[in-house]
Amino acid sequence: KQEVTQIPAALSVPEGENLVLNCSFTDSAIYNLQWFRQDPGKGLTSLLLIQSSQREQTSGRLNASLDKSSGRSTLYIAASQPGDSATYLCAVRRLGGNKLVFGAGTILRVKS
């Protein structure tokens, strides 16, 4: 059974700091991994999707890496801004299926 763990559970940083969010998963037989952002009272917004054959994806100030063999992914946020404050969730999709298994998320607060 796939289990996804995110560390830390919460993070508070001053504006402008670079930060890293961690995600680990127990079963390396994945099709892809996604990072989502969730604002209070809102749905999920997809940030980055990494296929199992890829090592990383970048979008603006965000960079996500994937090490499938070790069951780890990181989301790097450069030059953080107060608008980045949200909950960040990672989810993995297993080979041969569509189901996403989510971690519990990291609550990020960027202080101005």
Binding site for another protein (CB under 8 A): 4, 31-32, 34, 36, 41-46, 49, 51, 89, 91, 93, 97-105
- Between vectors from CA 2 to CA 20 and to CA 5, what angle results, nearest 5°? 25
- Minimum CB separation of residue 9 from another protein in Å reads 9
HSE value, Cβ hemisphere, 13 Å, CA-based, for 5: 8
Provide, rounded to whole angstroms, the least separation between the CB of residue 112 and another protein.
Answer: 26
Comparing CB distances to another protein, the nearer of 75 and 101 is: 101
Number of residues written out for the chain: 112
Closer to another protein by Cβ: residue 3 or 15: 3
d(CA 11, CA 4): 18
